[in-house]
Chain A
């Protein structure tokens, strides 16, 4: 079992804020590899009549899926954990080549009180990998700023075709703790 060392007692509302923003931007396809930090948002997506949640076997599938969705006239967003960013690297080359709107929301591990050393290497390079791959990075570290960050990210991704990743920091989602 695990506890969230830094989480509030009540269920967080920021995933609802994200869902509402995605809905307003007419996001239709939501590929994801599950992460605990995304669980509430995934529930909202799977319960939505306008969005389709699409579980992936690996994150790079989601990049290719969003290219196809856009070609067919739909917007999408990729949900993943920081470890999954590494799985995407070559497929990220589709974004500048095909020039489709790319928005991804990444729950962070390997930072802010991480207990698991295995999460740290990829968590430490997540932002750099995106930047080297031509994806702009925005970060959200507290619940109050989530709506504004999501609004900015969705606007630049969908309106300006600026590939954008929002890193949802471990400080926001709460550090995972398995230790005794």
Chain B
């Protein structure tokens, strides 16, 4: 599985969240949510264990509700492919505080490593750009990851999208809470909302 010169997923996510400040981070179903956990549990982490294809839309709802906060969706190629229409929805709404990163290992890593559409044909950067997300980047170096991590905090220039080609090697599973109400209410509490 492992190819030369591909980025390590944990290094990528650590760099994205290293200076996160007030970022709300959403991890898509699969390894991405574990990567966010590995970078450090945080009250503003939204861990998904289901709802495949929904990560970007959760990000959109949050970004529209909280326009002064940077919202960062970190998901995988399979999860993004399932919710590809949401790129058109986001391209139409153009929330300037929303950033989406796809960790693209060209495979369904959680289910046995079956190759995904990005391995041979689908170009998610092209899709995002064609859907109206003008700042859509293909990333292959850590310097580009770090530049994107800075851009996430610029609330005037989004939405932005990045597809990061990563090494397909499996890494240690570091699992977050599976309790959805805890996850949501912890974020709401941190944003200053009371329970109903």
Q: Is A177 an interface residue (CB 8 A)?
A: no
Of the stretches A9-17, A92-100, A110-118, A128-136, the one at the interface is A92-100
Is there an interface contact between B62 and A68, defined as CB atoms closer than 8 Å? yes
**Once bound together, how far apart are the Cα atoms of A98 and B193, in whole Å?**
16
* A159 (CB) vs chain B CBs: closest residue: B196
Q: Is B61 an interface residue (CB 8 A)?
A: yes
Provided the pairs A68-B62, A72-B191, A73-B65 are in contact, do residues A61 and B85 lie with their beta carbons within 8 angstroms?
yes
Provided the pairs A70-B184, A73-B193 are in contact, do residues A65 and B50 lie with their beta carbons within 8 angstroms?
no
Is there an interface contact between B65 and A64, defined as CB atoms closer than 8 Å? no
* A99 (CB) vs chain B CBs: closest residue: B181
* B50 (CB) vs chain A CBs: closest residue: A93
**In the complex, per-residue mask of B183-195: 1 if CB is within 8 Å of any chain A CB, else 0:** 1100110010100
**Once bound together, how far apart are the Cα atoms of A90 and B181, in whole Å?**
18
Is there an interface contact between A65 and B187, defined as CB atoms closer than 8 Å? no
**In the complex, per-residue mask of A57-81: 1 if CB is within 8 Å of any chain B CB, else 0:** 1101111111111111110100000
Is there an interface contact between B60 and A68, defined as CB atoms closer than 8 Å? yes
* A28 (CB) vs chain B CBs: closest residue: B65
Q: Is A54 an interface residue (CB 8 A)?
A: yes
Provided the pairs A57-B89, A68-B58, A99-B181 are in contact, do residues A91 and B64 lie with their beta carbons within 8 angstroms?
no
**Once bound together, how far apart are the Cα atoms of A79 and B191, in whole Å?**
28
A99 — which chain B residues lie within 8 A by C-beta?
180-181, 184
B187 — which chain A residues lie within 8 A by C-beta?
71
A177–chain B nearest beta-carbon distance, Å: 31
A94 — which chain B residues lie within 8 A by C-beta?
50-51, 54, 180
B residues 96-116 touching A (CB-CB < 8 Å): none
B66 — which chain A residues lie within 8 A by C-beta?
72-73
Is there an interface contact between B54 and A67, defined as CB atoms closer than 8 Å? yes
Is there an interface contact between B196 and A55, defined as CB atoms closer than 8 Å? no
Q: Is B19 an interface residue (CB 8 A)?
A: no
Other than A71-B184, A99-B184, give 15 A-B pairs with Cβ distance below 8 A: A55-B92, A56-B89, A57-B85, A61-B83, A64-B83, A65-B58, A67-B51, A67-B54, A67-B61, A68-B59, A69-B62, A70-B61, A71-B24, A71-B187, A159-B196
What are 8 sample pairs from A and B whose C-beta atoms fall under 8 A apart?
A55-B89, A64-B53, A64-B58, A69-B62, A71-B24, A97-B50, A99-B184, A161-B196
